[in-house]
Amino acid sequence: MLKGIHPAISPELLKTLAEMGHGDELVLSDAHFPAHQLHHKVIRADGVDISTLLLGITPLFEFDQYVEAPLAMMQAVEGDSLDPSVEARYLEAIKKINGTAPKVERVERFAFYERAKKTYAVVITGETAKYGNVIIKKGVTPVE
């Protein structure tokens, strides 16, 4: 156990966050996401919802400040609808740590899957919200 590390952050996830470089992306997927079909590096965070994981990741992770939207979420499929509380929960978790939250880009479902294939890794969570997947883009950690 380490001090200052949220208990939702597993050793494997902590290592992955440390390995990632500027511009690398990480998928925080809902429990229904086809992670193993799309990516070779999959980390399990069963039983942990994405807002809880964001509470643990945000103090350790600089969101990319050189892109307009360092967060990407899936658009609803035609004829379907989004639950706005899902995005609100994620942004609230980030705001709780950072005071503000970055912009969110909405990406068509199959384009999201293609983008997920190119990410550094996929974290499968216990999130059950429909369209609950989010891609986070890592930025440069400021020198203090």
Q: Are residues 56 and 125 in contact, defined by beta-carbon separation less than 8 angstroms?
A: no
Residue 48 structure tokens: 């942990």
Q: Are residues 93 and 44 in contact, defined by beta-carbon separation less than 8 angstroms?
A: no
> Per the residue annotation, which of 6, 22, 36, 39 is the catalytic one?
22
Residue 98 annotated in ligand binding: no
Residue 131 annotated in ligand binding: yes
32 is catalytic: no
SS3 for 3? coil
Residue 137 structure tokens: 């883009």
Q: What is the DSSP string of 17-70?
A: HHH--TT-EEEEE-TT--HHHH-S-EEEETT--HHHHHHHHGGG-PBPTTSS-S
Residue 66 annotated in ligand binding: no
Residues near 1 by beta carbon (within 8 Å), at least 6 away in sequence: none
Residues serving a catalytic function are: 22
Binding positions: 30, 109, 131-133
Binding positions for substrate: 30, 109, 131-133
